[in-house]
């Protein structure tokens, strides 16, 4: 059987990919990783490489070298962003320009002190205190924080408000006695508890509708952006901040993949033909909560490998 052309490899591989978030990489004829990227829609992104690449001219010379496509479907766009960042920080393929990602890592720090309670955005390394994250994207995180505090205005429940703060707290009917309830609700959202996330969504929907009713369209647009950012905030993300030394592996039809963690970040991805015994050993080390991920991506790896044969 004749070997598939580059355009056929890309077209047939794209057809096998889910319309879901994930990471993908292109391999050359020597099975070296030439390029690694992420997408909110794997199928559409890989299919785009069969076009003229007018928006990505630096990759035009790379495409003719693609001999195979590999991909991992992720639980969310945020998880895909972190996995791409981790993999690129570990090893930079020839056609990638930036080690890691362009978004800055950031954290939310919850301060439940009675004097000046707050939910703060902190950029960089994990801060002291009750920190949640890390998240990728400071602007989206700031918008999500705005949505959370729109629903539960924690800073207005402090004991040491200035004149403007006291006036605003009075206008919104907020008192120090509300602080404990606000903190509990915010903690539940940051822990991705479904009832709390649903309650936050309902409050923001009400706020947006109220803004439209009073013709405050700028505020309504801001609330809409906050709702979208909250959806991003609570989306699953397991590849950074995972168990130290985590191994996730799967196998199907003679093809396997393994993701390994360095410290608490999954950042090593291997895939290809593998003996069943070795594959089963890696799969046996995969925690129960990662089994669905492993099964899904093992099947995907096997189907993509068949395209390049």
CATH number of the domain where residue 59 is located: 3.40.1440.10
Looking at the structure, tell me whether residues 179 and 229 fall in a common domain: yes
Residue pair 308/278 in contact (Cβ under 8 Å)? The answer is no
In the chain, % of residues over pLDDT 90: 84
Q: How many residues does the chain have?
A: 309
In a domain, 295, yes or no: yes
pLDDT digits (tens, 9 = 90+) for 14-29: 999 999 999 999 999 9
The span from the CA of 220 to the CA of 207, in Å, is 8
Looking at the structure, tell me whether residues 123 and 200 fall in a common domain: yes
Looking at the structure, tell me whether residues 178 and 113 fall in a common domain: yes
pLDDT given at position 309: 74
In a domain, 89, yes or no: no
Instruction: Please provide the distance, in angstroms rounded to a whole number, between the alpha carbons at the two ends of the chain.
Output: 9
Measure CA 93 to chain center: 21
In a domain, 92, yes or no: no
Tokens found for residue 237 = 């993300």
In a domain, 84, yes or no: no
> Per-residue confidence at 1, pLDDT binned at 50, 70, 90?
very low
Largest CA distance in the chain: 80
Residue 279 has pLDDT above 80, yes or no: no
Average pLDDT, the chain: 93
pLDDT given at position 99: 79
Helix, strand, coil fractions of the chain, as percent rounded to 5 = 50, 20, 30
pLDDT given at position 2: 45
Residue 190 has pLDDT above 50, yes or no: yes
pLDDT digits (tens, 9 = 90+) for 33-42: 999 999 999 9
Looking at the structure, tell me whether residues 211 and 143 fall in a common domain: yes
Looking at the structure, tell me whether residues 215 and 247 fall in a common domain: no
Which residues span the domain enclosing 280? 238-309
Four-residue CA torsion sign, 46, 47, 50, 54: negative
Beta-strand pair 255-262/247-252: antiparallel
Number of domains, the chain: 3
Residue pair 153/183 in contact (Cβ under 8 Å)? The answer is no
Residue pair 61/21 in contact (Cβ under 8 Å)? The answer is no
Looking at the structure, tell me whether residues 204 and 269 fall in a common domain: no
Looking at the structure, tell me whether residues 8 and 113 fall in a common domain: no
Looking at the structure, tell me whether residues 121 and 215 fall in a common domain: yes
Looking at the structure, tell me whether residues 58 and 112 fall in a common domain: no
Tokens found for residue 285 = 């080390």
In a domain, 97, yes or no: no
The span from the CA of 204 to the CA of 117, in Å, is 21
Looking at the structure, tell me whether residues 22 and 65 fall in a common domain: yes
Better-scored residue on pLDDT, 8 or 308: 8
> Once rounded to an integer, what is the mean pLDDT over residues 98-108?
84
In a domain, 88, yes or no: no
Looking at the structure, tell me whether residues 110 and 221 fall in a common domain: yes
Tokens found for residue 97 = 């320009």
Out of 56, 74, 92, a domain closes at 74
> Once rounded to an integer, what is the mean pLDDT over residues 135-148?
96
Name the 3-class secondary structure at 248. strand
pLDDT given at position 283: 81
pLDDT digits (tens, 9 = 90+) for 192-221: 999 999 999 999 999 999 999 999 999 999
For 19, counting Cβ atoms within 10 Å of its Cβ (0-12 exposed, 13-18 middle, 19+ buried), the class is exposed
In a domain, 36, yes or no: yes
Residue 6 has pLDDT above 80, yes or no: no
In the chain, % of residues over pLDDT 70: 98
Out of 194, 217, 233, a domain closes at 233
Residue 191 has pLDDT above 90, yes or no: yes
> Once rounded to an integer, what is the mean pLDDT over residues 257-268?
94
Four-residue CA torsion sign, 14, 17, 22, 25: negative
> Per-residue confidence at 3, pLDDT binned at 50, 70, 90?
low
The span from the CA of 298 to the CA of 296, in Å, is 6
Looking at the structure, tell me whether residues 228 and 298 fall in a common domain: no
In a domain, 242, yes or no: yes
> Per-residue confidence at 56, pLDDT binned at 50, 70, 90?
confident
Out of 185, 212, 233, a domain closes at 233
- Of the CA atoms within 13 Å of residue 140, those in its CB half-sphere come to 19
């Amino acid at each position: 059987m004749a070997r598939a052309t580059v355009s056929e490899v890309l077209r047939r591989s794209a057809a096998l990919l889910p319309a879901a978030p994930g990471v993908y990489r292109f391999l050359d004829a020597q099975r070296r990783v030439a390029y690694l990227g992420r997408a909110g829609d794997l199928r559409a992104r890989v299919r785009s490489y069969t076009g003229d690449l007018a928006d990505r001219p630096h990759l035009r010379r790379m495409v003719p070298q693609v001999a195979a496509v590999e991909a991992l479907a992720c639980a969310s766009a945020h998880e895909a962003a972190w996995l791409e960042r981790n993999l690129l920080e570990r090893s930079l393929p020839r056609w990638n320009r930036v080690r890691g990602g362009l978004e800055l890592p950031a954290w939310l720090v919850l301060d439940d002190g009675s004097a000046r309670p707050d939910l703060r955005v902190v950029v960089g390394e994990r801060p002291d205190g009750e920190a949640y994250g890390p998240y990728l994207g400071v602007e989206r995180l700031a918008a999500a924080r705005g949505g959370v505090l729109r629903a539960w205005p924690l800073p207005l429940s402090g004991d040491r408000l200035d004149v403007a703060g006291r006036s605003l707290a009075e206008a919104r009917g907020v008192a120090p006695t509300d602080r404990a309830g606000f903190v509990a609700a915010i903690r539940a959202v940051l822990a991705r508890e479904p009832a709390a996330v649903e309650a936050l969504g309902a409050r923001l929907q009400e706020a947006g509708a109220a803004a439209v009713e009073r013709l405050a369209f700028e505020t309504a647009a801001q609330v809409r952006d906050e709702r979208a950012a909250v959806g991003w905030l609570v989306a699953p993300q397991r590849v950074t901040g995972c168990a130290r030394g985590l191994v996730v592996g799967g196998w199907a039809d003679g093809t396997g993949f393994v993701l390994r963690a360095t410290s608490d970040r999954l950042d090593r991805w291997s895939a290809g033909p593998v003996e069943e015994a070795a594959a089963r050993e890696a799969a046996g080390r995969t925690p129960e909560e990662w089994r669905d991920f492993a099964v899904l991506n093992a099947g995907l790896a096997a189907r993509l490998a068949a395209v390049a044969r």
